[in-house]
Amino acid sequence: MALVDECIFCKIIRGEIPSFKVWEDDKTFAFMDINPVAKGHALIVPKFHTPNIYEAPQEWLGPTLGAVGRVARAVRDEVQPDGMNILQANDKGAAQSVFHIHFHVIPRIVDDGLTMNWDMVPGDMDEIDKLAEKIAAHTASE
């Protein structure tokens, strides 16, 4: 398990900083966000320090996403929201504030005022098609 000394999430995983743990196994750790945007807001992290999804080893993503599903179902059952956002941000342009990959489980209530949603506006289908082909070529070479 590779953790980093100065990372706040690594410190939480090691128990150096207290947290409100909701799940833990050999590869993942989940805890309540202490700056919640909604009741039940939780964070899920791998027990492996990697700054973002681009650099995350595949063998850690699967178990982490499994833990995201487990925590989301538990939050849904306890909080009983109208819906749920699963959020994961990468780099400053996406407002990532802690550079240890993490997933937010955010319960939602209709008209709760959170601004993570966007209006449905159709894009240019030809442009989308061309971009899809280019992206598919990249995914095939991974």
**pLDDT digits over 86-96, tens only?**
999 999 999 89
pLDDT bracket for residue 142 (50, 70, 90):
low
Range scoring the smallest mean pLDDT among 4-13, 79-88, 114-123: 114-123
Decide: pTM greater than 0.85: yes
Q: How far apart are CA 125 and CA 112, in angstroms?
A: 32
Which burial class, exposed, middle or buried, applies to 13 when counting CB atoms under 10 A from its CB (0-12, 13-18, 19+)?
buried
Q: How far apart are CA 3 and CA 93, in angstroms?
A: 25
- pLDDT, tens digit, for every residue of 3-60? 889 999 999 999 999 999 999 999 999 999 999 999 999 999 999 999 999 999 999 9
Give residues with Cβ within 8 angstroms of 12, minimum separation 6: 19, 29, 31, 45
Q: Which positions are annotated as active-site residues?
A: 102
pLDDT at 139: 78
Domains of the chain: 8-140 (3.30.428.10)
